[in-house]
Structure 1
Amino acid sequence: PKKVAIIGASRDPKSLAYQTFKSMIESGFEGAFFPVNPNADYVLGYKSYKSVLEIEDNIDLAVITTPSRIVPFVLEECGKKGIRAVIIITAGFKEIGEEGEILEEKIKEIGKKYNIRIVGPNCLGVINTSQNVRLNTFFATPMPQRGKVSFVSQSGAICVSLLDHAREKGIGFSKILSIGNKVDVDEIDALSYFKDDPETEIILLYIEGILRGEEFFKIARETTKKKPVIVLKVGRTPEGARAVSSHTGAIAGIDEIYEALFKKAGILRVYSLEEMLVKVLALISQPLPKGNRVAIITNAGGTGIIATDECIKRGLRLAKIDRKTYEKLKEKVPPYASLGNPFDLIGDADAERYEWVMKNLLKDKNVDAVISMMVPQKMIDMEEVAKRMAKYAKNNKKPLIPAFLGEKSVLKPVEILKRENVPFYTFPEDAINAVSGLYEYSELKKGIKEEKEIIFKVEKEKAKEILDNSFKNEDGFLLPQDSLKILEFYGFKAVEWEYAENEKDVYKI
């Protein structure tokens, strides 16, 4: 967009509307802003308008921050003004119950009436770090550093949290989209865009529920052929599903179905924000391994054991190195070190020893990936070790994952790795998980093949009639007899059954 209206712009620094506009100004946006506030002449130094209809210029995007009850009226004015893109930051719609659901239905109707694409409501909006745009409508977080990752989330708070953690790990973003209640624009629209976006190389999704499952599968499958898609799907438990409903009003769905859907579409699934960052950090800069054979380098036996257990747990294998590699390693590794994988180089291992082992293991045809870990040592120049790790992590055809296992003691070597844009971890488990993510995605990518579509004879109209008319119980599920009928309409063989309304009917049957 080149011209943006902020409807509901406030002069109160404590208000969401004020902070939203302030973020937009501070983002470095080179276009024009048009605040709309009927009670102000100026907002944050910009001339204010009583209505969007008073603005003489054509507006590309409107950001609405007014109270929810007047959003339909404001959106109607946007439609009359000819605005075709709107972000509704305001909350208070279907996530609060019946009253909010009615309001949300109104804005959906207005959007269709005027052909307006709507992001939200109940969202933070968008961040675009592209040099020719630079726009941030998030009131809760500053502009992130520019990078290759794009993120789509139903939760604005999850966006803020992930961005904060990512900032510390040196992960940059191309675009972030907070879709909230997704009355119009959803994760399918986002994937369709990011699939062909040259500034996006990795896509992250935080999902609470998917309404258009078949369309999602189709676009996700097309996308994962080009670039990795990592998803965090929440609401996996019945309790979590209820929490989802009260958050954005979404229906969480049955988790086993999502699990199968993601796998078949080639999507890499994670189960926490931490795991998402662990895997994206490796995918940003490391090549995909050809197999699951891992070599583990350490300077302490215990960390090697932890890494070994984690390797096996995650479906990786310890590489059996070639005899020639073993002999080569012995040339510069002392006899009291262990060269059995994990390769325990002992506490006095310096940068020269680490480099010698890394270089030769990466050359070994039996090794698909290398994890190089170091426990802090006062008598060793850890910064020099970090430089050698960065050298091989940046210039190799196989992944090399560095890990400095500590916190305060490893700040300087970690800063070197961050500056060199290579992955870094501070726990053995995370380093292994990073390799696991690379391997899993490489396998998912191999498995995405064009399959012949299987056609089932389905009586859709009969099934639809039941869904439209059937009485739903208090838990929101179909009655058993209706569920069985639908299964039969979709070609599933069910056990022979009859329905009894009372005890007498049971005896008759």
Structure 2
Amino acid sequence: MESFFYPHSIVIYGASENFQKSGNRVLRNILNYTSKNVYLIHPRKESIKVNEITLKAYKTIFDLPVKNIDLAIIILPVQYVLDALEECIIFQVKSVILESGALYLKGENDEYNVNRINQIRVKLNKLNQTRVMGPNSIGIYSANKNGMDLTTSLIYFEKMPGLKKKNLSIVSQTGLTLSGLLLGQNYIQEVGISKIAAIGNKFDVTESDLLDYLESDPNTNAIALYLEDIKDGKRFMNQCKRISKKKPILLLKSGKTEKGKKAIISHTKSMAGDYKIIEAMSKQMGIVTVEDFNELFTLSKMILSQPIPKGNRLAVISISGAGTVLSCDLAEKYGLELPPMSKAQNEKMREIYPKWAWEDVYNPLDIWASVELVGPNKTYEFAGETFLEEESQFDALVYLITGIKESEFDWDILHQINGNHPDIPIYMGFFGGDKKLLLNWREILEEKYDIPTFTSLSLMMKCISKALRLS
């Protein structure tokens, strides 16, 4: 698997000078990573020029001036895929990514093509030198500590999100993870991304091959899976039991309904399996299942940016009384507790409240009266530290504010509270407000201080509940 993510030599079938072609975008992504040891295969052109770089083109892989190739990317019309794949196997390329949508044109010489695929499989197994990802894959993303990140995506990336202190690796059966979902991390990076593998229709490389590799990858702290089917259930189950003890595994499994299963057959030509069985297995294996990509990334940033809560007891500080009421309802829904303050905490907290509001001093805490009396900086710091001064009482600290200038405070205060109580996670929830202001707050909190933010209180509480399964 190493040569997929850290290739020293790359061959591209289907590179193009036309900016509208996928082969052009793939080549530009590769050239952002390196222009050294990049070789192009083209039956008609002698060279291809992209980004002021001219690369020589060779008619076949056997014409190359080198004998050892780490990675070949095939992005050709479907009718040429099998020829290119067989060449790569004979040449003993270490890794091949099939970005073409299929191995052959269905309905044209089906019996011949199926027999040929079987022969190619025999050759692949006999030579035992090449691994193949795809077809219907757009390949990989690999972040490097030196900032020279690699992607083979057919979507062009001017920049990559890169690594954070802790990072997620993703194995998926969709190109979304190497297009829109990865691009989304470029604006405000909520999650550090180490590696992505879009494995497509799994002609050869499967989720289990990637799990074995990511288990020992030093830059992977958690693993996310989007799977439409599971190739080898027994192997997968044994792997997850072992790996989940060291690294959290999150699973988004599609095909829960009969219509969903039919859509999977259309998408990746595979069978979905019974979701109820997979869900039951996930509990035995220590995997946490999620409902969609939003929940997948939300839970990922929660467990990677802050410590996982040791228990279900929350301290909630809200700018609004609505936040306190909603947090009570949602805590009960998701099996979380809002323990009362101790008598000493209550008496201390009253120091920052007007006397008329003393009856409202409890957990969850409405702090608007305090903000008006002593200002937001003192309120948020004093309330947070007072909640956490009895270390064994609460397992997480939740702030709920709205995007208005009157509720803004020095965000370094949260960083200091984090430092004073390193085992207690801090979460920030937003109740709407000025969108530009909220984007600015998110950028500071997520990228500078690694404090996760949430625009849905319900999703935040749900993810806290799911994170507890990993504690």
User: Residue in 1 aligned with 2:397?
Assistant: 370
2:465 partner SS: helix
Following superposition, the deviation at residue 106 of structure 1 comes to 5.5
Q: Equivalents in 1 of 2:465, 2:36: separation in Å?
A: 44
User: Residue in 2 aligned with 1:164?
Assistant: 183
Q: Provide, for residues 370-412 of structure 1, a one-character-per-residue CA deviation record: whole Å limited to 9, x for no partner.
A: 11111234434x142x332233345521111112322334233
The equivalences for 1:27-426 within 5 A come to 28-29=33-34, 31-43=36-48, 44=50, 45-57=54-66, 58-93=68-103, 99=110, 102=114, 105=118, 107-115=120-128, 116-131=130-145, 134-142=149-157, 143-147=159-163, 148-170=167-189, 171-335=191-355, 336=357, 338-346=360-368, 349=371, 350-364=376-390, 365-380=392-407, 382-384=408-410, 386-393=411-418, 396-406=422-432, 407-418=435-446, 419-426=448-455
Following superposition, the deviation at residue 348 of structure 1 comes to 5.8
Q: Equivalents in 2 of 1:162, 1:176: separation in Å?
A: 11
Q: Provide, for residues 183-209 of structure 1, a one-character-per-residue CA deviation record: whole Å limited to 9, x for no partner.
A: 111111111111111111111111101
Q: Equivalents in 1 of 2:450, 2:132: separation in Å?
A: 36
Q: Provide, for residues 205-228 of structure 1, a one-character-per-residue CA deviation record: whole Å limited to 9, x for no partner.
A: 111010200100111111111111
| Contact 2:290 2:296 (8 Å CA) reproduced | yes
TM-score normalised over the length of structure 2:
0.87
Q: Provide, for residues 57-91 of structure 1, a one-character-per-residue CA deviation record: whole Å limited to 9, x for no partner.
A: 12111111122222221122112222121111111
Following superposition, the deviation at residue 158 of structure 1 comes to 4.1
| Contact 1:75 1:110 (8 Å CA) reproduced | no
In structure 2, list runs of 5 or more residues that go unmatched: 1-6
* CA RMSD between the two structures: 2.3
Q: Equivalents in 1 of 2:314, 2:460: separation in Å?
A: 11
Larger radius of gyration: 1
Following superposition, the deviation at residue 131 of structure 1 comes to 3.8
Following superposition, the deviation at residue 124 of structure 1 comes to 0.6
Q: Structure 1 pair 94/77, CA: closer, same or farther in 2 (3 Å)?
A: closer
Counterpart AA for 2:171 = V
In structure 1, list runs of 5 or more residues that go unmatched: 443-509
User: Residue in 2 aligned with 1:451?
Assistant: none
Counterpart AA for 2:361 = L
Q: Provide, for residues 266-325 of structure 1, a one-character-per-residue CA deviation record: whole Å limited to 9, x for no partner.
A: 111100111111111111121122211111110101122222222211111112332222
Q: Structure 1 pair 390/425, CA: closer, same or farther in 2 (3 Å)?
A: farther
Q: Equivalents in 2 of 1:327, 1:351: separation in Å?
A: 20
Counterpart AA for 1:78 = C
Q: Equivalents in 2 of 1:390, 1:54: separation in Å?
A: 58
| Contact 2:255 2:261 (8 Å CA) reproduced | yes
Q: Equivalents in 1 of 2:144, 2:85: separation in Å?
A: 28
Counterpart AA for 1:401 = Y
Q: Equivalents in 1 of 2:101, 2:156: separation in Å?
A: 18
1:379 partner SS: helix
1:303 partner SS: helix
Following superposition, the deviation at residue 422 of structure 1 comes to 1.9
Q: Give the paired residue count.
A: 439
User: Residue in 1 aligned with 2:461?
Assistant: 432
TM-score normalised over the length of structure 1:
0.81
Q: Equivalents in 1 of 2:282, 2:10: separation in Å?
A: 37
Q: Structure 1 pair 261/296, CA: closer, same or farther in 2 (3 Å)?
A: same
Q: Equivalents in 2 of 1:428, 1:342: separation in Å?
A: 14
